[in-house]
Structure formats: structure tokens, C-alpha cells
Structure 1
Amino acid sequence: MHISYDVSDWTRKHYQDKGPVRMCARPWKMVHDEKAAKAVLCCHGYTGYPGELIRPGKDLYEAGFDVYAVRYPGHGTTGEDFLQSKAEDWIGVAYDAYAELKDQYEEVYLVGHSMGGAIATIISDAFDAKRLALLAPALVIPSVPVARIRFLRHFVTKTKKEWKRDPLYKFYYEGDPDDDAFLGSQYWSFNYPKSIWELERVRAQAVACLDHLKADTLSISGGLDVTIPEEASVLVVGKKLGKNKHLHIPTATHLMPYDKDLNAQDEAMKAVVDWLSK
């Protein structure tokens, strides 16, 4: 796999993390020796990290694209950093990355997973990107009680929730042996009302973009996704502009880029490559 972690510091204008970036969370690129004409920018999800998007990156690279993945401030470091970073930081890093790539390639497309799907939607609208592929895009999030979070974020730092590692999920990234356990202890074992509010701000901004989003857009939903409903993809492909397609994979979970059902994972990744290769 032709991967490099020598990428621009797209976080330099945004919140500066105090904790070290875990190996799995390093932003990365897969660039051909002879530079491709087209690039793809990959955007990870809420509490996620760039290593989760290695599989779509690898497949797109093999299809002839140069591929890049950003890391948002507050992600892949510590819970303390997470609490200090905001929606503007997360969106801003993706914006700066796309702006840089746009000057280097004939076309730059976007792939976004979960909250990364919302961020990719915002960036695509800002730059009039021609193609966009979304995996379980977080434009509808039933589990977020907006009114309650709006209130709690001022008084509650975090609340405990149950998390345990699922060994059936196989990752593709190069990282430290304890990455999953460490990130679980920092991110996935808690609810952070303040950060959930920032997620809601990202979601609302993405929805507001749909009326004028020109990109030809593929949105993929999973039948076993308990986080983002099929309704989110239906909302996206119902936009007025562009050629749009909804693919529903009954056996896919929310974590499509590394789904434990390999057939579902393969189907989703093939659909993304096919869509961006048209």
C-alpha cells in the first residue's frame, strides 16, 4: 500500500491539540509516482480518525486517483482536546485541505463517512465539487436530543456510556497496538454534550447546503446502521441539482469503510469507486 503521512499541516489555522496524535489518527496521502489528474479528499466521522478510511483510500488509489485524508482537531488525541475543538475547526481543516488540493489537481472529489459526510457536503457546496460520495451521512441523527443538548452543554462536561471493543471489526491502518483501547477510553466511553452540540451545528449547516449543492452525489445507507437512518440518504439524493443516487445495503452497519460484513464493505467500496470514476 503506497501510503505516506507527509502531508501539509491543515490544522495550523485552527485549534492546536495539546495531546499527541495517535499513529492511527495521522492524516495520510496515497499519491502515485506520476501524479494523477484527479484527487479525492476523505473526511472521517465524529470521534473518528483518518485510519478508518484506509480501505476506500486504497481502492480509489488503485483506481487511479491520488487520495488524501484529513484529521480534525480534537480527534485522535484526547478527550480534553475534543472538548476544546469546535465545528469551525473540523470544517475549517477540510476546507483548507480542499483549497490546497484544488490548486494541484484538475478535479478534486470528496468521500465522507458519518459526520465526515456532512463536512464533505459543506465543502463540496463551497467549492462546487463535481462528485461526492457519502457513507451513512450524518444529516439526520435521531439519537441527538437537540433541545436537551443545547441546555446540558453549559452544565455537563461528560457522561459515562458503555463501550467495548468488537474484535469482528478489522482495521487497515498502521497504528499502535493499543490505539483502539486508548481511543475508546477517551472518546467512545463518554457522551460529551458540548461536542454533540458541535456535531449538531455541522449537521444543520450541511442540510442547509442541499438546496444549492451541485455535485453529482452518491449516498449509501446501511440496513444494520443504528446511528444514521436510511432517511438521511433519501434526504441527500432528493436535492434538486446534480445527478444523485441512493444505494441501500441491507447488511451494512454504520462502519462501512471497515464493516465486519466483508461483502457489505466490498459492495460499498465498489460503489464509491464506480461513482467517482464515471
Structure 2
Amino acid sequence: MHITYDIPDFTEHHYQDKAPVRKSARPWAMIHEDAVGKAVLLCHGYTGYPGELIRPGIDLFAAGFDVYCPRYPGHGTCSNDFLASRAEDWIGTAYDAFAYLAQRYEHVSVVGHSMGGAIATIISDAFDADTLALLAPALVIPSLPVMQVRLLRHVVRRKKVDWQPDPDYHFYYEGDADDDAFLGSEYWSYQYPKLLWELERVRRQAEACIGHLAADTLSISGGRDATIPQEASILVTSKPKGVNKHLHIEEAGHLMPYDKNIDAQNEAMAAVVAWMEGRR
């Protein structure tokens, strides 16, 4: 795998994590030895990390793109860092990454997964990007109890939820053997009302961008996604500007970049590459 972890610190002007970054969560890039004129910025999801997006990176790199995947502050370290970070840190990191790429490449596109899809929508609108691909974008989140979270965020630090590792998932990242278990114990074993409210703030900002978002937009939904309904993809691809396409993959779940169903994963990744290449 042609990957480097020696990339600029796009979190420099945002919250600085206190705990070390887990190996699987390191920000990364895939850069061709000979200069190319096109790059893709990948945006990971809420409580996610850059290692989750290795598969689209591999496919896009093979198609001739340089690929960059930053890590948001508070992600991939520990729950204390997570609680200290805010929506502005997450969006700001992606914003700074796009600004860096825009100075060095003729053409920069954006791909986002889940909350990263909402952030990718915001960034694409801010920079007037012309190509955007979204995987289960967090533009509609039925399971998020907004009013309850808005009240509890001031009094409840975290709430225990059941999480167990799933051996059926195959990860593409270069990490330590216990990365999934550690991140699960810090992030996915609890709900954090304060951070769920930050997620809602990201979602609202992204939704407000849709009406004037000019990027040609592909949005992929999964029939087995219990988190984000296909209404989110319908919402963004119904926008008035650009060429827009909604692809629904019945067998895909929420974690499309490493979906347990390899056929669904392959279909989603092939669609992203085709969209980035301009095949409409």
C-alpha cells in the first residue's frame, strides 16, 4: 500500500489533543511520485478515524488521484480529548486541509462518510468544489434525540451503551492489534450528549448549505444502514444546482468503506471512483 503519514498538521489551529493518536487513526496521504493535478480530500465520520477510509483511498490512488485524509481533533485518541473538541475543530480541520490542497492542485474533490459527509458538504460549498461524493451522509439522523441532547449536554457527561467488536469487519488500515478494542472502549461504548449536540450543529450547518451547493454530487445510501436513512441522500441530490445522483445499494450497511458485504463495498467504491473521474 502506497501510504505516508508524513503530512501537514491540519489540526494546528484547532484543539490540540492531549493523548497520543492511535496507530490506526493517524492522518495519512497517498501521493504519486510524479506530480498529478488532481487530489481528493476524504472526511471521516463522528467518532471515526482516518483508518476507516483506507479503501476509498486505495481505489482513488489507483485511478490517478492523490488522496489526503486528515484526522479531526478529539478523534482516535481518548474520550477526554473527544469531550474537549467541538464542531468548529472538526469542520476547521477539513477546511484547512482543503485550503492546503487548493494551493497545490489544479482540481480538488471531496468524499465524506457519515458526519464526514456533512462536513464534506460544508467544505464543498465553502470552496465551490465541483465534485462531491457522499457515503451515508449525516444530513438526516432519526436516532438523534435533539431536544433531549440539548438539555442533557449540560448535566450528563456520558451514558453507557452496549458495544462489542464485530470480527466480520475487515479493516484496511496499518494499526495495532488492539486499536479497535481500545477505540471501542473510549468512543463507541458511550453516548456523549455534549458531542451529539456538536454533531447536530454540523448537520444543521450542512443542511443549510444544500440549497446553494453547486458541486456535482453523488450520494450513496444503504438498505442495511440503521443509522442514516436514504432520505439523507435524497435530500442532498434533490438540490437545484449541479448534476446529482442518488445510488441506493440494498445490501450496504452504514460502514460502506469497509462493509461486511464485499460486493456492496465494491459497488460503493467503484461508484465513488467513477464519479470522481467525471463519469456521470
TM-score range, shorter chain: over 0.9
The one-letter code of the counterpart of 2:20 is: P
Deviations 1:86-140 (A, max 9, x none): 0000000000000000000001000000000000000000000010000000000
CA distance in 2, matches of 1:240, 1:84: 37
Match of 1:109 in 2: 109
CA distance in 2, matches of 1:27, 1:199: 21
1:84 equivalent to 2:84? Answer yes
Match of 1:2 in 2: 2
CA-CA distance at 1:35 after TM superposition: 1.6
TM-score by length of 1: 1.00
Structure 1 stretches lacking a partner, 5+ long: none
Q: Report the secondary structure of 1:67's partner residue.
A: strand
The one-letter code of the counterpart of 2:139 is: L
Match of 2:129 in 1: 129
Deviations 1:127-162 (A, max 9, x none): 000100000000000011111100000000000000
The one-letter code of the counterpart of 1:51 is: G
CA distance in 1, matches of 2:250, 2:180: 27
The one-letter code of the counterpart of 2:58 is: K
CA distance in 2, matches of 1:218, 1:257: 15
CA distance in 2, matches of 1:143, 1:157: 19
CA distance in 1, matches of 2:52, 2:91: 18
The one-letter code of the counterpart of 1:58 is: I
Match of 1:241 in 2: 241
CA distance in 2, matches of 1:70, 1:5: 10
CA distance in 2, matches of 1:88, 1:200: 12
1:255 equivalent to 2:252? Answer no
Match of 1:56 in 2: 56
User: How do residues 153-172 of structure 1 correspond to structure 2 at under 5 angstroms?
Assistant: 153-172=153-172
CA distance in 1, matches of 2:47, 2:78: 10
Match of 2:97 in 1: 97
CA distance in 2, matches of 1:135, 1:225: 11
1:146 equivalent to 2:146? Answer yes
Any runs of at least 4 consecutive aligned residues in structure 1 with deviations exceeding 2 A, and if so which? none
Over aligned residues, Cα RMSD in angstroms? 0.3
Match of 1:36 in 2: 36
The one-letter code of the counterpart of 2:227 is: T
The one-letter code of the counterpart of 1:177 is: A
CA distance in 2, matches of 1:146, 1:192: 13
TM-score by length of 2: 0.99
1:230 equivalent to 2:233? Answer no
* Identical-pair percentage: 69
Match of 2:272 in 1: 272
Q: Report the secondary structure of 1:104's partner residue.
A: coil
CA-CA distance at 1:11 after TM superposition: 0.5
Structure 2 stretches lacking a partner, 5+ long: none
Q: Report the secondary structure of 1:267's partner residue.
A: helix
CA distance in 2, matches of 1:198, 1:215: 25
CA-CA distance at 1:36 after TM superposition: 1.3
CA distance in 2, matches of 1:83, 1:201: 15
Deviations 1:203-227 (A, max 9, x none): 0000000011000000000000000
Q: Report the secondary structure of 1:13's partner residue.
A: coil
The one-letter code of the counterpart of 2:39 is: A
User: How do residues 161-240 of structure 1 correspond to structure 2 at under 5 angstroms?
Assistant: 161-240=161-240
Deviations 1:25-55 (A, max 9, x none): 0000000001211000000000000000000
Match of 2:118 in 1: 118
